C-alpha cells in the first residue's frame, strides 16, 4: 500500500498570505495525485487532479506541482473561505489519502 | 451532471452488519466507477473500495478485505456498501464518490451517511 504523508499538520496563516502544503508518497505515484478541500460538515471538494490540473470551477489561486514522490499545493493568497482541511490522494496503486493539513486563521 | 444520493443514518449493534446505498442520477451509471470513502469523527478520509458497475468488478483496500462488500444494481443505478462484524471503530460518515472525468479523482460526492456502532 502506498502511504502518503502530509506536512505540516497545521498551518496558521492570515488572509492574503501564501500557503504551501506538502504531500510525500512512500513510493512513486507518477503524476497520479489529487488534492481536496474539506470544510466541517461537508463532503470533500476536488481541487487539483493529476498533480497540476485544476478541477472545474476551482479558482486560479490554487495550484499544484510535483511528480514521483513529492507534491505541493499552493494557495497564492488566502481568502477567508480557504481556511479548511486539505487532503492529498493517490490513484497510482488503488487509492489512498494522506492524513490532511489544517489551514487555520492566525 | 451526475448526482449521488445516499441512504439515511444508521445505528447498529457491535457484531452486526450495515448496508448503505448510493443512487446515481443524471448520467450513465455503468460507465463510471463508484468508490466508498469513510471518515471517523475528527479523523481523515479512508478509502474502502470501489466498483465498476459495467463490469461488476470490485476492488477493496487491504484493511477491509473480507469485511466489506461493494455491489451495484444497474437496473436502479444504485451502488451498495455492506460492512460486516461492526465494531465501535466503524462509527463514521460513509461517502460514495465518483469521477466525472479523470479516473479515481473524485469530483462527485454523495452527501454522506452517518453510521453509529453502539451497544
Measured in angstroms, the CA of A49 and the nearest CA of chain B are apart by 6
Task: Identify which of A49, A96, A99 has the shortest CB distance to residue B102.
Answer: A49
Residue of B nearest to A34 (CA): B105
Closest listed residue to residue A25, CA positions, set A65, A66, A73, A69: A69
pLDDT at B78: 93
CA distance linking residue B11 with residue B96, whole number of Å? 19
The cell for A94 is: 488503488
Collapsed DSSP state (helix, strand, coil) of residue B109: strand
Write the DSSP assignment of A30-69 as a string of letters.
TT-EEEEEE-TTS--EEEEETTTEEPTT--TTEEEEEETT
Q: What is the mean pLDDT of residues B20-30?
A: 84
Digit-coded pLDDT (tens) for A45-91:
999 999 999 999 999 999 999 999 999 999 999 999 999 999 999 99
**Interfacial residues of A (vs B; Cβ cutoff 8 Å):** 1, 32, 34, 36, 38, 43-44, 46, 49-50, 53, 55-56, 87, 89, 91, 94-100
The alpha carbon of residue A24 and the mean position of all alpha carbons in its chain are separated, in whole angstroms, by: 11
Taking residue B79's Cβ as centre, other Cβ atoms within 10 Å add up to 29
Report chain A's mean pLDDT, rounded to a whole number.
Answer: 97
Provide the 8-state DSSP code for A91.
Answer: -
pLDDT at B27: 75
Q: Is the pLDDT of residue B29 over 80?
A: no
The cell for A87 is: 487532503
Digit-coded pLDDT (tens) for B48-92:
999 998 888 999 999 999 999 999 998 899 999 999 999 999 999
Selected residue of B106, B108, B112 to mutate for chain A interface (largest A Cβ count, 10 A): B106
Closest listed residue to residue A8, CA positions, set A20, A17, A18: A20
**What number of C-beta contacts closer than 8 Å exist between A and B?**
60
Beta bridge mates, B36: B49, B96
CA distance linking residue A38 with residue A97, whole number of Å? 13
pLDDT at B30: 64
For residues A43 and B110, the answer to whether their CB atoms sit within 8 Å is: yes
Amino acid at each position: 500500500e502506498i502511504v502518503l504523508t502530509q506536512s505540516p499538520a497545521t498551518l496558521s496563516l492570515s488572509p492574503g498570505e501564501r500557503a504551501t502544503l506538502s504531500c510525500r508518497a512512500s513510493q512513486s505515484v507518477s503524476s497520479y495525485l489529487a488534492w481536496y478541500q474539506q470544510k466541517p460538515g461537508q463532503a470533500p471538494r476536488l481541487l487539483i487532479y493529476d498533480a497540476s490540473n485544476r478541477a472545474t470551477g476551482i479558482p486560479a489561486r490554487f495550484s499544484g506541482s510535483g511528480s514521483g514522490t513529492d507534491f505541493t499545493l499552493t494557495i497564492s493568497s488566502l481568502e477567508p473561505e480557504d481556511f479548511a482541511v486539505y487532503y492529498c490522494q493517490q490513484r497510482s496503486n488503488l487509492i489512498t489519502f494522506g492524513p490532511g493539513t489544517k489551514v487555520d486563521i492566525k | 451532471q451526475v448526482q449521488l444520493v445516499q441512504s439515511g443514518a444508521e445505528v447498529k449493534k457491535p457484531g452486526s452488519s450495515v448496508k448503505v446505498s448510493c443512487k446515481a442520477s443524471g448520467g450513465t451509471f455503468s460507465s463510471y466507477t463508484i468508490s466508498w470513502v469513510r471518515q471517523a469523527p475528527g479523523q481523515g478520509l479512508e478509502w474502502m473500495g470501489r466498483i465498476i458497475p459495467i463490469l461488476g468488478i470490485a476492488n477493496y483496500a487491504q484493511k477491509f478485505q473480507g469485511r466489506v462488500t461493494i455491489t451495484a444494481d444497474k437496473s436502479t443505478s444504485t451502488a451498495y456498501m455492506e460492512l460486516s462484524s461492526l465494531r465501535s471503530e466503524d462509527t463514521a460518515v460513509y461517502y460514495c464518490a465518483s469521477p466525472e472525468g479523470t479516473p479515481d479523482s473524485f469530483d462527485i460526492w454523495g452527501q454522506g451517511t452517518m453510521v453509529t456502532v453502539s451497544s
